[in-house]
A = this chain, B = another copy of it.
């Protein structure tokens, strides 16, 4: 599959590398076509790996991963041509983190979320929020965390969620660990969770942890 990855940070690189390793044709997008981080990534991965602008990544991707910092996400996605965004599945991995005061907070929260802002701004794009609740290494290799643990998806388009679930399975997430939270408004929950995640990150002393939703089997129909 041709996949665009927006962002050259740790999350973007980790996801892009994993996708390339699975045989996908990945184009890493950044603000400028000659971004140094992206060039290093292309050199390291080789093969079909390419780099370009955010717009190039959206144009070339059948699926696009938004791995930019949350505060920059709307601008990054918005630099693509509207025709390229129309109908496209966009996996929003970003978080609304705001460290401006020193301590972690969120710049949107409660009755709105970054996932919803992206969906509202690009109504013809099929936004699926996913993977933002785990460390970047766990995103693409859930076996780093022993035992059963869950990843969450939400979005308004069922077909897009199915596409993303398939990609998550290819990363190693068992089908029964992929929890569909419903429409894109569930972004409020998974984004707010980040404040809890950051504390758990401190307590566990590692990014290699996650949570599992526990309950009676009939209440967890996704766990087969």
A residues near B, CB below 8 A? Answer: 98, 101, 103-106, 109-111, 145-149, 179-182, 186, 188-190, 192-200, 202-206, 208-216, 219-220
Contacts and interface: CB of A to CB of B under 8 A. Distances in A.
Contacts of A219: 204-206, 208-209
B186 A148 contact: no
Given A149-B214, A209-B214, A189 B195 contact: yes
A220 B204 contact: yes
Contact of A203 (B148, B179, B212): B179
A170 B106 CA distance: 37
A199 B193 CA distance: 11
Contacts of A212: 211-212, 214
Centre residue among A104, A179, A189, A216 by max chain B CB count within 10 A: A189
Nearest to A110: B105
Nearest to A106: B110
A98 B179 CA distance: 26
A219 B201 CA distance: 10
A215 B209 contact: yes
Contacts of A208: 215-216, 219
A140 to B, nearest CB: 17
B206 A215 contact: yes
A140 B29 CA distance: 51
Given A110-B106, A110-B109, A206 B196 contact: no
Contacts of A193: 192-193, 195-196
Contacts of A211: 211-214
Contacts of A180: 203
Nearest to A205: B219
